[in-house]
Amino acid sequence: MTSSDEDGLDLAGLKRKYAEERAKRMRNEGLGQFVDLDSQFGHLADDPWSQPRPRDPVEEDVTVLVIGAGMGGLLLGAEFHKKGISDFRIVDKAGDFGGTWYWNRYPGCACDIESYVYLPLLEETGYIPSEKYAKATEIFRYCKSIAEHFELVDKTLFHTGVESAHWDEEALRWVITTDRGDRYRARFLISCTGLFNSPKLPNIPGVMDFEGHSFHTSRWDYQYTGGGPNEPMAGLRDKTVGVIGTGATAIQVVPSVARTAKQLYVFQRTPSPVSYRGNRPTDPNWEDSLQAGWHQGRMDNFTALTSGYYVEEDLVDDAWTDIMKTITPSKDGSRSISPEELELAEMRKMDETRRRIDTIVDNTQTAEALKPYYHYGCKRPTFSDEYLQSFNQPNVTLVDTNGRGVERIGKKGPVANGTEYAVDCLIFATGFDFMTDHSRETGIDIRGTGGKSLSEHWSNGMRTCFGIQTHGFPNFLFISYAQSGITYNYNHLAREQAGHIAHILSQGIKQGIATFELTEQAEREWVDEVVKLAEPRLVFLDGCTPGYANHEGNRGQAYQTNVPYMAGAFVYFDRMAQWRKSGDWPGMDVKKISELTA
Ligand code: NDP
């Protein structure tokens, strides 16, 4: 790439600016700058949506035990239903289906990827979302309808947190215990614990000393704020509110709070790139025009366009996919995009995002502070037609901390840039653990052969094949983002993994397999391939402003391995399809029940 392009972008200058902004945000603590809600602020992690009913502990033998009733668990349950696997139990610490859509009910919460590609199983259930970007309430309802459609309701236990899962080498069963005193024995164990399941707070002094009211966005307190996800929050009319964080969640929260709070302070460490959203009701003519297979086609189209492949037609046509429009199409329309072309397109996209701010935000100082200076993809792109506009309201103040963040929480409120901002209510939009450590994120003690824990096995980073199984843990599979095909549409990936996992289990059951276990060699080969393919990504992430994608800028061992499979989603899907086609369990040690009893 040259130092400036034909649009007049000063590419070299921008890269220098990106590096300066990154340097401001680098902190030695890395991931240590956060604490989990569960571990230290138990009361803030409480479920605000439903209370467990008393019940007796369950002792049960099942063929499959599934941990998690979010999108992964639902997709898996649907695949089981299709394949006739019926002896399974799903457990979840939440009070209903939905996972992230159970917990996150903050005002303004909605899908930020088009619902026609994000919501799974639309053709199977015959459902069409009511809007291009469905609201969280609709998505939560849809999750419950998936469960009903695929007859998962009676198979699921809620308000039940798995505490441990240990492989019994004698019995060849997983023994699973829960916080409700249950004890399961399962032939197969599947973990679908999701990506953003462990809320975190900044590990700054004073969080417990704050005298006002506080909560995390994933545990919204409507008793305090009044209103509901799509209703005004009357309880905030006479309140001064602080929101810490400006990630994808805050972008959705801020406009709703701004509409009702007497005064709102938004504490910003790093601005998000905010593109247009363009939500609209579903067009009934479009709905009528859909042909069988449309959903798969649209998901593929979105994943291709957002993964750097050139595709002639942009079916989704929104601010996620328009990045490819800045790339001149090749004549034959078949090639994929070169890294240089992609980088240039991304520099232009970020420039456009910054220029958009000037057209919306009246105060020039605020507008300048809201401009993100880092490479596209370092942080989650966001979309809103209301967030930037909020800062034109007289009751909304951006407290930009120039990359330093809130230093501490005083008795009256957050301290930033040396000033204490007195607030009645403090809302932590500070995110979740992401791809760090399975046990840290889930709190589950998983032990395989020889009593070895998963944390021990992964102490130098994740070790898997296809991101779904690991050596030393027989009959154990999981849905995961790490070491598996990269796409912004998690449900596309989860659906492929769920299909693959259900295939393995149905074959295992049909063929009378007692145990299957990933070989050490297959694990090593996959990890080596993942790490090698990720080298350019790590160079990219090294240059990124700190965030969850690059473990807050701190390179540890896990940083090299807990990465997606960078050959891309389609190659990944194809590799799994080839495995299924081969039919002879390559890369796994398999023992049949008949061999053991002979
Ligand atoms: P993020 O981790 O993206 O954002 C956390 C925010 O807290 C960041 O702005 C961070 O700043 C800020 N922060 C942390 N510590 C401090 C501090 N000491 N002072 C000031 N600010 C601080 O979490 P989100 O909940 O916003 O999003 C998590 C993910 O959830 C998204 O990336 C997305 O994948 C998903 N999501 C999906 C949605 C959907 O519709 N599908 C909607 C919302 C979220 P900094 O950037 O400097 O670290």
Cβ(242) – ligand 1 distance below 6 Å: no
Cα distance between residue 209 and residue 190, in whole Å: 40
The pLDDT of residue 327? 63
C-alpha distance from residue 14 to each of 347, 354, 374, 400 (Å): 9, 12, 9, 21
Q: Give the whole-angstrom CA distance, residue 233 versus residue 108.
A: 11
* Residue owning the nearest CA to atom 4 of ligand 1: 247
According to the model, what pLDDT value does residue 436 have? 63
C-alpha dihedral (110, 103, 35, 195), degrees to nearest 10: -70
Quick check: CB of 34 below 6 Å from ligand 1?
A: no
Q: What whole-number distance in Å separates Cα of residue 392 and Cα of residue 558? A: 42
Query: Do strands 419-420 and 414-416 pair parallel, antiparallel, or not at all (unpaired)?
Result: antiparallel
Nearest CA to ligand 1 atom 17: 405
**Pocket lining: 500 vs ligand 1, CB cutoff 6 Å:** no
Closest CA to 69 of 101, 105, 39: 101
Which atom in ligand 1 lies closest to the alpha carbon of residue 380? Answer: 32
**Which residue's CA lies nearest to atom 32 of ligand 1?**
380
Q: Report the run of H or E that residue 118 belongs to, with start and end.
A: helix 115-118
- Residue 68's Cβ-count burial label (10 Å; 0-12, 13-18, 19+) is buried
DSSP 432: B
Distance 375 CA to ligand 1 centre (A): 17
Q: Is the CB of 377 under 6 A from ligand 1?
A: no
CA–CA distance, 470 with 465 (Å, rounded to integer): 6
Question: Could you give the percent of the chain with pLDDT greater than 90?
Answer: 74
Determine whether 213 is exposed, middle or buried from the number of CB atoms within 10 Å of its CB (0-12, 13-18, 19+).
middle
Q: Which pairing describes strands 263-268 and 240-244: parallel, antiparallel, or unpaired?
A: parallel
Ligand 1: does its nearest atom lie under 6 Å from the Cβ of 204? yes
What's residue 216's pLDDT? 94
Any ligand 1 atom below 6 A from CB of 269:
yes
Tens-place pLDDT, residues 218-274:
999 999 999 999 889 999 999 999 999 999 999 999 999 999 999 999 999 999 999
Q: Are 92 and 68 in contact (CB under 8 A)?
A: yes
- What contacts 24+ positions apart, CB below 8 Å, involve 52-55? 52/95, 52/158, 52/159, 52/180, 53/159, 55/180
From atom 46 of ligand 1, which residue's Cα is the shortest distance away?
270
DSSP state of 7: T
Under 8 Å between Cβ of 530 and 565: yes
Q: Which of 79, 83, 44, 55 is nearest to 192 (CA)?
A: 79
Decide: 380 in ligand 1 pocket, CB within 6 A: yes
Residue 66, number of CB atoms within 10 A of its CB: 29
Ligand 1 nearest atom to the CA of residue 406, by list position: 19
CA-proximal residue: ligand 1, atom 25 (nearest) = 431
- Tell me, letter by letter, the H, E, C secondary structure of 17-31: HHHHHHHHHCCCCHH
Q: Whose CA is nearest to atom 10 of ligand 1?
A: 245
Sign of CA dihedral 41, 42, 45, 50: negative
Q: Length of the chain, please?
A: 598
Is the CB of 194 within 6 Å of ligand 1? no
Q: How far is the CA of 379 from the centre of ligand 1 (A)?
A: 9
Choosing from 246, 382, 400, 407 the residue with most ligand 1 atoms within 8 A of its CB, the one to mutate for a pocket test is 246
E-assigned strand segments in 296-383: 382-383
pLDDT for residue 552? 82
CA distance 351 to 371: 9
Q: How far is the CA of 217 from the centre of ligand 1 (A)?
A: 10
Ligand 1 contact, 112 CB (< 6 A): yes
Instruction: Confirm if 130 and 281 have CB atoms less than 8 A apart.
Output: yes
> For residue 136, which atom of ligand 1 is closest to its CA?
40
Q: How far is CA 218 from CA 33, 46, 443, in A?
A: 19, 10, 18
- To the nearest 10 degrees (0 to 180), the angle between helices 71-83 and 136-149 is 20
Q: What is the pLDDT along the chain (598 residues), one digit of tens a residue?
A: 445 666 678 889 999 999 999 999 888 777 777 777 666 666 778 899 999 999 999 999 999 999 999 999 999 999 999 999 999 999 999 999 999 999 999 999 999 999 999 999 999 999 999 999 999 999 999 999 999 999 999 999 999 999 999 999 999 999 999 999 999 999 999 999 987 778 888 888 888 889 999 999 999 999 999 999 988 999 999 999 999 999 999 999 999 999 999 999 999 999 999 999 999 999 999 999 999 999 999 999 999 888 877 788 899 999 888 877 666 555 444 446 677 777 888 888 899 999 999 999 999 999 999 999 999 989 999 999 999 999 999 999 999 999 999 999 999 999 999 999 999 999 999 998 766 666 666 789 999 999 999 999 999 999 999 999 999 999 999 999 899 988 899 999 999 999 999 999 999 999 999 999 999 999 999 999 999 999 888 888 888 998 887 888 877 768 788 889 999 899 999 999 999 999 999 999 999 998 887 6
In short, whether 195's Cβ falls inside 6 Å of ligand 1 is: no
CA distance 191 to 69: 10
The pair of structure tokens assigned to 268 is 């910003």
The predicted pLDDT at position 331 comes to 44
Count Cβ neighbours within 10 Å for each residue of 129-163 and write b for 16 or more, e otherwise.
bebbbbbbebbbebbbebbebbebeebbbbbbbbe
Give phi and psi for 379, each to the nearest 5.
-130, 155
**C-alpha distance from residue 233 to each of 74, 421, 429 (Å):** 32, 22, 17
Mutational test site, ligand 1, from 380, 406, 417, max ligand atoms within 8 Å of CB:
380
Domains for the chain: give ranges and CATH numbers. 11-40+199-277+341-428 (3.50.50.60), 59-197+434-597 (3.50.50.60)
548 Cβ below 6 A of ligand 1? yes
Query: Which residue's C-alpha comes closest to atom 1 of ligand 1?
Result: 431
For the CA of 113, the closest atom of ligand 1 is 41
Which pLDDT score is estimated for 200?
A: 84
Question: Tell me, what's the pLDDT at 336?
Answer: 62
**Which residue lies with its CA nearest to atom 48 of ligand 1?**
547
CA 397 to ligand 1 centroid distance, Å: 19
- State the residue for tokens 């942080």: 379
- Ligand 1 pocket check: which of 139, 140, 269, 306 to mutate, most ligand atoms within 8 Å of Cβ? 269
Nearest to 570 by CA among 303, 175, 190, 173: 303
How much is the pLDDT for 15? 92
Q: Is the CB of 430 under 6 A from ligand 1?
A: yes
CB 42 within 8 A of CB 49: no
Q: Whose CA is nearest to atom 20 of ligand 1?
A: 405
CA 124, 125, 131, 136 torsion-angle sign: negative
